[in-house]
Amino acid sequence: MKTLLLLRFLPDKVYNASNCGDNCAYWILKIAKMQDITISLYHMMDFGNRRFTARVANTGEITHTMDELVLIAADCLRGDFA
């Protein structure tokens, strides 16, 4: 909950969203519709079947679905990004 409040009211920082858990994915997407935010993830957070727009900082790629995000994340975990 604290991280979600920080994301909403201090969006210029980078927050470890892995501490939130998957139950916060809905709220992260809702906050991101209101303003640009930056989060770091150390696990594959499940954003569900909803469409979203996210830029993966490691690669600069834009993703709109979990399927796309998983493929990009797999490359990042293997170290195949530029």
Per-residue pLDDT of 37-80, as tens digits, reads 999 988 889 999 989 999 999 899 999 999 999 999 888 877 66
pLDDT value of position 82: 55
Q: Domains of the chain: which residue ranges?
A: 2-78
pLDDT value of position 76: 82
Question: Cβ distance 47 to 69 under 8 Å?
Answer: yes
Look at residues 76, 42, 30, 36 and name the one whose alpha carbon lies nearest to residue 56.
Answer: 76
pTM recorded for the entire structure: 0.86
* Interval 25-31 mean pLDDT: 96
Residue 73's H or E segment, with its range, is helix 66-78
CA distances from 34 to 7, 9, 28, 30, 61 (A): 11, 11, 10, 7, 21
